[in-house]
Amino acid sequence: MLKDQDATATVAVKDLPKARRFYEEKLGLAAEQESPNAVVYKTGRTTLVVYPSSFAGTNQATSVTWGVGDGFDAILQDLQSKGVPFEHYDNLPNLTRDGDVHHAEGLKLAWFRDPDGNIHHLISTPRR
């Protein structure tokens, strides 16, 4: 039933204008739809919905994963140049780390947070 349907990532934020600046200026996303209650971004063949909520930033797990393929290094460097700090997870099994890049089974991985603490993940798996 759902296996052929697209899924949308949904991220709660405390301050929608502040979040928009991050998602648009730092991540390079452009709003496709907007209202006082949400902003919808097109990202690849999927969408990302950012909306205000009093529960923003309470998720301690990954909210959004970006499969960026061979663009991993360039995207990482672009985000670093814009001042996006990256998370370091040195206690996860089967991972090694070199700077901001984690390595596991031939993959490159990196994590960063938005202004509300929502965790985003870059992975060098091919885009679908």
CB 80 within 8 A of CB 104: no
Confidence of residue 119 (pLDDT cuts 50, 70, 90): very high
Asked if residue 2 has pLDDT above 80, the reply is no
Measured distance CA(42)–CA(31) in Å, rounded: 7
The percent of residues above 70 in pLDDT, for the chain, comes to: 97
Residues 106-115: tens digit of each pLDDT: 999 999 999 9
pLDDT of residue 126: 61
Q: What are the φ and ψ backbone dihedral angles of 72, each rounded to 5 degrees?
A: -50, -55
Average pLDDT, the chain: 93
Average pLDDT over residues 23-29: 97
Which CATH superfamily does the domain covering 9-123 fall into? 2,3-Dihydroxybiphenyl 1,2-Dioxygenase, domain 1 (3.10.180.10)
Does the CA dihedral 54-58-61-67 come out positive or negative?
Answer: positive
Does the CA dihedral 57-58-60-61 come out positive or negative?
Answer: negative
Helix, coil or strand: residue 114: coil
Domain residue spans in the chain? 9-123
Asked if residue 125 has pLDDT above 90, the reply is no
CB 67 within 8 A of CB 43: no
Asked if residue 80 has pLDDT above 90, the reply is yes
Measured distance CA(100)–CA(79) in Å, rounded: 11
